[in-house]
Amino acid sequence: MQTILNKIAISFVALALLLPSGGFVYAQTATTQASSSLEISGWIPYWRSKLGVESILPHLDIFTEVNPFMYTVKQDGTLYQASSLSNDEWVLLRARAKESGVRFVPAVMWANADAMDEIFRDTEKRKAHISSIIKEVFGNGADGIDIDYEGKYARTRPYFSLFLKDLKEAIGYNKWITCTIEARTPLDSRYSSLESIPKDIEYANDFTAINQYCDSVRLMTYDQGRYDLKLNDAKGDPYVPVADVDWVEKVVKLALQDIKKEKLVIGVATYGYEHDMFPAQNGSGKMQYSQLWSFNPGYATGIATKLGIQPVRNNAGELFLTFPASQSPEPPIPLPNATRVLSWSDAESIRQKAELAVKYSLRGIAIFKIDGGQDPLLWDVLTNYKYTATRVANKTASVANAQTAPLPPNSQIFKMPTVDLKFGIISEDVRILQKFLNSKGFIVSKTGAGSLGKETNKFGPATQAALASFQKAKKITPAAGYYGTKTRALIKALGL
């Protein structure tokens, strides 16, 4: 995500990048029927917070989680609010999110490799950093924190894992830890041959530890560019996508080897990149690419209108424009024989990523970024995938109605689930468990989703915490918030 932050800074020079499309029709009409529902989250950047909040509020019911992208980290490890959470737009978003049962989880972005290594290695400094996070989360009424720590050294890996472990223990079960991590491309796609793959490659992220300590894991599956050598060769020129759906699928399949599908989320871009493409100077006959800047979709469609050309769907699944760089209404023109290449993520390319999440039964998708400049057809796509508690796939209406029918008012008799239930599960059995806990005074949530009369089928941190409290009160060990044979047996024996 640091990459896109750098490019957006460049984009501010050209104000046209932030303008809407002016009604230019460029996105394929979204399908009207989705095959499944997904959790949908979205980052709102601090540099366009008012526009982002204004854009998302009418569609807040689509989302499961919203992420004000506004914390950075000082050299000493304490958090810095790049945009104060007391600003009117954040206060409004937090209040509306609470009313709608949407998680309000601010994001911390940190990309100082040396500082991270120093602070995570030192026990006291690590504790101080965690204390700073806890202070912000609880002090601002947030539902958790999004950890987006990028560009770490490989040598920092075990200490970053220790930080996540300590954070999970410190923040408690009723707060959410979302982890945003870099996409990992398979090595056989990063190198030209198996023989050329270095034998001593080390990664900065321990996927196994991240799976253990993070409640959800979001892959930054964007900013692909020319990173996948196999796809570069297979797709031909011009090819410099934000995120080819084929590349995203590779990244997902690799991550699923260590991260549970119930936690995994596909990060989806709403922007694009502009490049110049020109013949390599070494006479190889290959093409080279020079990245110019990032942009919102309206910038590209505005250029298309000025030049009288129609964007097309490329073989990466994105919208696409090419024309001689000398004809561009925007500078610079580094080479007279360059071809200007624009590739961007519109509603249809986002739909393709959502379908990929459905295909692999992942937790959901995360949108980067919502700032008022995204494809306006995005909302139509997301509506088709939004999580709805009453949607039960592949079941007849009678079965679905029987499973979702409310229990009699004030009834204290429950037909308790006979299967094990744990964190991350989505099932109607979870709804029954939540009803039971709420009726016995072990409240899942005081308001919103999970509260009395608003129980859901999602086993999240609030359900886990309420169940753990019940188990502790009934002296069930371990009181870990896992619904298994011990808990079922006690409930049956006590006639609860």
Please tell me the predicted confidence (pLDDT) of residue 57. 96
Please tell me the predicted confidence (pLDDT) of residue 149. 98
* Predicted confidence band of residue 43 (pLDDT cuts 50, 70, 90): very high
Strand ranges, E, within 49-207: 65-73, 79-81, 103-104, 107-110, 144-149, 176-182
For the chain, give the mean pLDDT: 86
Look at residue 50 and tell me whether its pLDDT is greater than 90. Answer: yes
Please tell me the predicted confidence (pLDDT) of residue 329. 86
* Predicted confidence band of residue 391 (pLDDT cuts 50, 70, 90): very low
Look at residue 409 and tell me whether its pLDDT is greater than 50. Answer: no
Domains of the chain, first to last: 2-383 (3.20.20.80), 397-494 (1.10.101.10)
Range 67-96 average pLDDT: 94
Range 440-445 average pLDDT: 88
Rounded Cα gap, residues 425 and 361, in angstroms: 12
Rounded Cα gap, residues 168 and 464, in angstroms: 13
Look at residue 346 and tell me whether its pLDDT is greater than 80. Answer: yes
Bridge partners of residue 44, in order along the sequence? 68
Q: Which two tokens stand for residue 84?
A: 């104060």
Please tell me the predicted confidence (pLDDT) of residue 332. 62
Rounded Cα gap, residues 359 and 491, in angstroms: 37
pTM of the entire predicted model: 0.75
Look at residue 341 and tell me whether its pLDDT is greater than 60. Answer: yes
* Predicted confidence band of residue 392 (pLDDT cuts 50, 70, 90): very low
pLDDT digits (tens, 9 = 90+) for 303-320: 999 999 999 999 999 999
Specify the higher pLDDT residue, 489 or 188: 188
| Angle, CA 373 vertex, CA 369 and CA 376 arms, to 5° | 100
Rounded Cα gap, residues 80 and 136, in angstroms: 10
Q: Which two tokens stand for residue 36?
A: 């499944």
SS3 190: helix
Strand ranges, E, within 111-211: 144-149, 176-182
Q: Which two tokens stand for residue 349?
A: 């390319």
Rounded Cα gap, residues 48 and 52, in angstroms: 6
Q: Which amino acid is at 166?
A: D
Please tell me the predicted confidence (pLDDT) of residue 495. 65
